[in-house]
Chain A
Amino acid sequence: MNNFEPEIVAFCCHYCAYTAADMAGSKRIFYPPNVKIIRVPCTGKVDAIHILKALEKGADGVYVAGCLEGDCHFKNGNTRAKHRVTYVQKYLNDLGWETQRVAMMNMSAGMGERFAGTAREFTEQIRQLGPNPIKIAARNPKEQAAI
């Protein structure tokens, strides 16, 4: 586990976080390659099932990055996304998982620094939490079978 490199899925809004990522790239601001970006037309398009499926398929952390509160291009898609993240967190809590594995972030298109900083911090946070428990179970089938 010492060389654990988290796999992070980031659902990024086309109008803000995705553009911010672009800006980070063109400004040569470093952010960890662990973060895999999925561009969405609005974070309001991200449903609970998308976040859950990412975890189910082995993502160690998932975050949704939308526009600043009150600035959604489609009025309130980012607010809906925030509620859905909370909804998934509640399930994770019920299952005894760390709720910090999923998160909601907000930024504007011009915030390249913020995008990179967020990606670094979230990756570090997940690194501290360790791998997705499903992956641990898959690696140690015998130990788990004893449970």
Chain B
Amino acid sequence: MITAEQKPVTEIINYISPYRRILLVGCNECVTVCAAGGKKEVGILASVLHLHFLKQGKNLEIDEITLERQCDPEYVEELAPHIDRADAILSMACGCGVQTIASRYKEKIVFPAVNTKFMGASESQGIWAERCQGCGDCMLGITGGICPVARCSKHLLNGPCGGTSNGQCEIGPETDCAWRLIWERLKELGMEDRYEEIMEAKDWRPSGGAGPRKIIREDLSL
């Protein structure tokens, strides 16, 4: 999923201070799962903002709406009946959702309430870790299911650098050395030989090097 973390509340307050009627929009997808911008977080943020502005003697009107998906025009359309009432929109979705709203409701300003972080997986309750950088040319099939692009701090494709110690990355003990993990996995699979095959210099075009990426499925287009 796409992971996100709520922005510092003071930053959000700075954004919306000039406005009185706020449309606070959550998203039912990734940000719900990573507890950053789902219905529950929308409620909490609305209440926190009320605490702040009521203390200032300002009665903020906050409309709370959580859409099925903010990155889909079909669902963003559901905001239409509420838009006129709002001076500004505060979105708790990832950057994709914020931009979908911005492109649909051009006359309203939209602010992000979260920082979109990375594509990750849940390691355990309350912990998410980066797993994919969307390089556009997946090599997990030859690296034992562990991605060196996303999980090696230097994106090294041909093995660990000289900085690994106690199986951890040189940047810190909280980061596993991706190549130690790949190596252990290859051993488990009995595929140690694969390690010595050189991975050629990567073509970064599918990774974004050739500019913003797009998928066009003519079979699905209307």
Contact = CB atoms under 8 A, between A and B. Distances in A.
Direct contact of A and B (CB under 8 A): yes
A137 B56 contact: yes
B44 interface: yes
B10 A94 contact: yes
A144 B47 contact: no
A147 B17 CA distance: 13
A56 interface: yes
Given A94-B10, A144-B56, A145-B57, A49 B43 contact: yes
Given A49-B40, A91-B9, A95-B9, A55 B51 contact: yes
Interface string A114-147: 0000000000000000000110011011001101
Given A91-B9, A94-B8, A137 B44 contact: no
Chain A interface bracket (under 10, 10 to 19, 20 to 34, 35 or more): 20 to 34
A84 to B, nearest CB: 10
Tell me what chain A mostly uses at the interface: helix, strand, loop, or mixed.
Answer: helix
Nearest to A136: B55
B50 interface: yes
Interface of B: 8-10, 40, 43-44, 47-48, 50-52, 54-57
19 contacts: A47-B40, A48-B44, A49-B40, A52-B48, A52-B51, A53-B47, A56-B47, A56-B50, A91-B9, A92-B51, A94-B9, A94-B10, A95-B52, A134-B54, A134-B55, A137-B54, A141-B57, A144-B57, A145-B57
